[in-house]
Amino acid sequence: GRAERQRQEQAAMQTRVVPAQLAEPLGLNLEQFVPKQAPGEARPDHVLMEELLAVHSKMCQIFSQRAGNLRIIRSLWRDDRRGAIQHVQHLGDVGTSVDFLRQILKGPGRDLNLEQAGGVLPIVKDVLLSKFESHLVVGLEAASSLWHAFGDLINRTLGTKPLVVDVAPAERRDKCRIAKHLFGEIRSILDTLKDRKDDVGNRCRLLWHDLPADTFD
């Protein structure tokens, strides 16, 4: 009922996360969408229709632009994965980032290499700063997938010291240090979410237990 909806909205506002399931959009005031007019003034139907279509046109433009960005990213991904990842970072659009993560992380780390994973982790971090629960879930799934794919490699590489100087292992250690630092930043974000009493909190706690504390010393 109305009281329950208000309770959900207040809880979401306090935790700064918009739940994925609500009876209606959070904080939506339908009065704000009614065209303003003077008392007693009748607005012609065609004027009201034009105003509504203008809003619809703006939304279509936003979705069309996002679809175009995803087509560019998909095209780059085939031949230049580094370029595709950099393009997502440059866009800075959380919605596009979420769609990107959904596509490339359908399996455990998919077929990313360590360098590519290091490029994807900042995107994951930005998604985890979103206030939308659906975004957070995708970010948590991506972080978990990447950790399970590269966590052992990072631990083994940084836990041993090469006896001889070798360029390849040195580069790998640098990439592992970068990835370790990014996982540490993600872990700090989990600190702010893991006490939630909802699906986001449950997922955060599971990932928290997967990430050993001594990994980030």
Which single residue is written with the structure tokens 């969408």? 33
In whole angstroms, what is the distance from residue 118 CA to residue 184 CA? 12
97, burial (CB in 10 Å: exposed 0-12, middle 13-18, buried 19+): buried
62-116, pLDDT tens digit by residue?
788 888 889 999 999 989 999 999 999 999 899 999 999 998 877 545 689 999 9
Its sign, for the CA torsion 130, 136, 140, 142, is: negative
Where does the pLDDT of residue 148 fall: very low under 50, low under 70, confident under 90, or very high at 90 and above? very high
Given a cut of 60, whether residue 38 has pLDDT beyond it is no
Cα angle at 45 between 39 and 47, to 5 degrees?
80
